[in-house]
Structure 1
Amino acid sequence: MRLRWIAAPVAAVAALAVVAFGVRDTEPAWSSAWATAVQYPIYQNWSAMGFSDQTVRQVVRLSQDGPQVRIRLSNRYGEYPLPVAAATVARSAGGAAVVPESVRALTVGGETAFVAAPGAEIVTDAVESVGPLMAITLYFTYPTGPASQHGQAQATSYRATGDHVADPSATDFTEESQSWYYLAGVETLRAGEGDVTVAFGDSITEGFRSTPDSDQRYPDLLAAAGFHGPVVNAGAGGNRLIADSTVLGDNAIARFRRDVLDQPGVGTAVVLIGINDIGLAGNPGPDGIVFPPVSKEQLIDGYRDLIAQARAARVRIIGATILPFAGSSFFSPEKERLRTEVNTWIREAGAFDKVVDLELALAAPNDRTRLADAFDSGDHLHPNDSGYRAIATAIAPALAA
């Protein structure tokens, strides 16, 4: 069971602006149908300035549908209480448009306006499902301050001035962003069998450089196959296994519980992480601080920590080998040796419940140090759509077994 947060209605915000009340989720029929890793505000999108008298519409595709849904919103990195003046959910009609008759108001505790305390997560009341391609629309009357967000969504979000939460038209949504804001997850009443699989990792799990608005990330492709149960995405661009960053966010060990084990209905975690620990070492980060070197032993200890957390929660954990990266800005012979040593441990140690050899699946036929041309997005580090499909194809048998 995990701690859930219920926000105060706006009428009570003066007394409760910095307080949230914890209750235990005792409804095991709810399971995660869509998720993203919430990150710090950044200056490259709308999150640094936040929102004021603005409506934000965000489109997500659920990996499972059910008769009812509820939305998780996060103010994890907010400095101030987050006042949501109004919110709706509707069936997407493409772009910023929604199907008019599908628009449903979202409430918390029966109130159409609600507040999330700094550092808190809130869960809306349940509403009738609008279908798997869902538009979530939030209106903020007052300044929000910097916004908790997910930077590399590979999906378009839309912004309009004023209150347009119930507006089905796309006309007033004149601004676009490739990030998500305040969204943490969507939960559905379980409609079928199968535990939730959480894909956990860095920008490769996140789907960076896949085609925007096409749901070509590897977790999307696994979910679309339909026979492995729900699959949700907890990838975070720049994420490292064992070290935090003031810009790149919490390390994987620190966020594993909230982003994986706290997902309702989770049964399996697929872990693909480590390339940023290896590749960034010795390079200056966005904040000017040089990333420290990392050893094989440190990375193995990090994997063992994730495995121990998963086992304690009775969650199956599948480990994936780190993809080739020769030709990328990360590459050096020393870093390649470290990647090879770590992959050998992943394959041979028997520490994970199962292992998927993504190096073998995506490497060039005669050169295990680099991605095959057919799978390379062009930066020699991230796959293209075909590469993400190859990842999904390699992982699928491990989920089915």
Structure 2
Amino acid sequence: MISPKSTEQPSIATLTTADAGTRTIWHGAWTAAVMRPSAAPWFPTWAEDGFADQSVRQIVRVNAGGTKVRIRLSNAYGAAPLQVTGASIGLTAEGAAVRPDTIRQLRFAGSPSALVPTRGRIVSDPVDLPTRPREQLTITLYFKDATGPTTHHQLSMTTSYRAAGDHHRDPSAAAYTDSIEPGFGSWYFLEGVETSGGGPRLPAVVAFGDSITDGFGANVDGDDRYPDALAERLAAAGRPHPVLNAGIGSNKLLTDSACGGDSGVSRFARDVLDQPGAGTAIVLIGINDIQLNDDRMCGVDLDDPPVTAQRLIDGHQALIRAATARGVTVVGGTLTPFQGSAGWTAEGDEIRRQVNRWIRTSGAYDAVADFDRALDPDGTGSVPDALHMGDHIHPSPAGYRAMAGAVDLADLAERQ
């Protein structure tokens, strides 16, 4: 069953702002599934050290436009309340620069600063800022006092920037001389962007999973993950479903990981069902349970319980029950091939095939997105070289486009 850990933070739907009591309808435009701070085993981040008298500039591409915008900040894994000294938002110019005519000071219950409770979240007051789907926004947070280790999203595939001192209202990129190179980027404390106004739109599609949803193998700053490609398909089809990416690299369905986030069954409610306007969830998770049977990649000497096809099926059924109870359509994504990768075994591949047979034939999911066949149409058990990034498991941008093409747009919920 879904773990009670998913309800530790207040539901997004219960958060109040200065416009509480109005009839404003907010839609999820962008999200990142948050994680505890840890030493990344693959690339450096700023999460363990945190920030002190520094401004952090983060760029996101929204998938729902509107006339007003607000942000959500999370301190879900904080050991103490988080003091945000100042914050701003604006349309991205280039790199760390913001279009000067669009930069807006963000307030929280009328104040330019905010205190985010330990293990809590807050939402900013709305600001007038016309945005279009697939437009980039830049959010800047200034922390005067030391934050300590940060709640973050480890794999953003997007460059974040840091400046010494308070530059949160500065449209110029001049002070933002610090970014992590080489690296794949991270987001810090930023959990969501919401928009309102601008006309009707269809319910959001939330892509849920591991690094293949998160987008490892896509181009850094390229916004060409599979959820991005799906958003482009929907825009071209004239169907304004916002697509929200709730993937976490190295995430598992059944067990928590020190550097791969809380398990899928424990975070599903927070990261999918609580999203504003969520209508459809696309679930693609389980390959890390199969290939990573311990947490040693995170420096933790802990073996996971033995993984079987039935245990993974039970986990998928828990997600289905939770989505159905909330009226969310749930699409099952078949587990993608990984022969040739470092974690492949014949036994593990047989578990993957058994789970895929269940996803395709059981009727438990409302619909199926056959990502396995999209990446391996001949059923070889391997991803062709043209469709993976070089490690035989993570798709390339071309592979991500193939995955997006496997989603039948008719399967997406038209109403909440």
The reply to whether TM is greater than 0.5 is yes
What is the CA deviation profile of residues 202-227 of structure 1, one whole-angstrom value per residue up to 9, with x for unaligned ones?
Answer: 00000012001010011111112312
Q: Is the 8 A contact 1:4 1:123 kept in 2?
A: no
C-alpha distance in structure 1 between counterparts of 2:137 and 2:324, whole Å: 34
Change beyond 3 A, Cα 1:183–1:25: farther
Moved more, 183-192 or 91-100: 183-192
Higher strand share goes to which structure?
1
| Aligned-partner residue type, residue 358 of structure 1 | F
| Higher alpha-carbon deviation: 78-87 or 243-252 | 243-252
Amino acid at match of 2:194: E
**Counterpart residue type for residue 156 of structure 1:** T
Per the alignment, residue 393 of structure 2 pairs with 381
Which residue in 2 is equivalent to 1:20?
Answer: none
Distance in structure 1 (CA, Å) of the matches to 2:20 and 2:411 = 29
Partner of 1:173: 176
Does the C-alpha gap of structure 1 residues 48 and 59 become closer, same or farther in structure 2, counting only changes over 3 Å?
A: same
Report what 1:59 is aligned to.
59
The verdict on how the C-alpha distance between 1:2 and 1:38 changes in structure 2, with shifts beyond 3 A counting, is: closer
Residue 336 of structure 2 corresponds to which residue in structure 1?
A: 323
Q: Report the equivalent of 2:78.
A: 78
Deviations 1:136-168 (A, max 9, x none): 000000001111000110000000000001111
> Is residue 4–residue 122 contact of structure 1 (8 Å, CA) maintained in 2?
no
Single out whichever of 299-308 and 172-181 deviates more from structure 2. Answer: 172-181
Matched residue type, 2:284: L
Look up the match of 1:272: 284
User: Displacement, 1:25?
Assistant: 9.0
The change in CA–CA distance for 1:130 and 1:189 in structure 2 (over 3 A counts) is closer
Q: Which amino acid aligns with 1:349?
A: S
Q: What code does the residue aligned with 1:29 have? A: I
2-side partners of 1:2 and 1:72: how far apart?
9
Partner of 2:263: 251
Verify: 1:231 aligned to 2:234, yes or no.
no
Contact 2:28 2:192 survives alignment (8 Å): yes
Q: 1:361-400 maps to which residues of 2 (within 5 A)? A: 361-363=374-376, 365=378, 367-399=379-411
Counterpart amino acid of residue 351 in structure 1: A
* 1:2-401 paired onto structure 2 within 5 Å: 2=12, 4-5=14-15, 29-43=25-39, 44-131=44-131, 132-177=135-180, 178-191=185-198, 192-225=200-233, 226=235, 227=239, 229-281=241-293, 284-286=296-298, 287-363=300-376, 365=378, 367-399=379-411
Q: Given the superposition, is the C-alpha separation of residues 393 and 381 from structure 1 closer, same or farther in structure 2, using an over 3 Å criterion? A: same
Q: Which residue of 1 aligns with 2:4?
A: none
User: 1: CA distance between counterparts of 2:189 and 2:118?
Assistant: 12
CA contact (8 A) 1:222 1:396 kept: no
User: How far off its partner does 1:285 sit?
Assistant: 3.4
Q: Which amino acid aligns with 1:181?
A: Y
Distance in 1 of aligned mates of 2:269 and 2:301: 29
Residue pair 2:13, 2:276 contacting (<8 A) in 1 also? no
The corresponding residue for 2:7 is: none
CA distance in 2, matches of 1:237, 1:311: 26
Shift of 1:291: 3.4
Deviations 1:140-198 (A, max 9, x none): 00001111000110000000000001111111111114100000000111532210110
% identity of equivalent residues: 45
**Aligned residue type for 1:214:** G
C-alpha separation between the residues in 2 aligned to 1:311 and 1:26? Answer: 29
**Structure 1 residue 49 displacement after superposition:** 0.8
Structure having greater relative contact order (Cα 8 Å, sep ≥ 6):
2
- Give 3-state SS (helix, strand or coil) of 2:141's partner: strand
Whole-angstrom distance in 2 between the partners of 1:313 and 1:364? 34
Q: d(CA) in 2 for partners of 1:205 and 1:180?
A: 16
Taking structure 1 as reference, are residues 137 and 242 closer, same or farther at Cα in structure 2, changes over 3 Å only? same
RMSD, matched Cα: 2.0
Unaligned regions of 5+ residues in structure 1, if any? Answer: 9-22
Unaligned runs of 5+ in 2: 1-10
1:200/1:234 contact within 8 Å kept: yes
Partner residue in 2 for 1:11: none
The verdict on how the C-alpha distance between 1:45 and 1:130 changes in structure 2, with shifts beyond 3 A counting, is: farther
Q: Residue in 2 aligned with 1:16?
A: none
User: Aligned AA for 1:317?
Assistant: V
Question: Contact (CA 8 Å) 1:220, 1:231: kept in 2 or not?
Answer: yes
Provide, for residues 336-362 of structure 1, a one-character-per-residue CA deviation record: whole Å limited to 9, x for no partner.
111111100110100000011111110
The offset of 1:397, in angstroms, is: 3.2
Q: What is the one-letter code of the residue matched to 2:335?
A: I
Residue type of the partner of 2:144?
A: T
The Cα shift of 1:24 comes to 9.1
8 A contact 1:363–1:369 mirrored in 2: yes
- CA, structure 1 residues 25+219, in 2 after alignment: closer, same or farther (shift >3 Å)? farther
Q: Distance in 2 between matches of 1:167 and 1:397?
A: 41
Structure 1 residues 104-136: Cα deviation after superposition (integer angstroms, max 9, x where no partner): 000011100111011011000000125331000
CA contact 2:52–2:147 (8 Å) conserved in 1: yes
User: SS in structure 1 opposite 2:314?
Assistant: helix
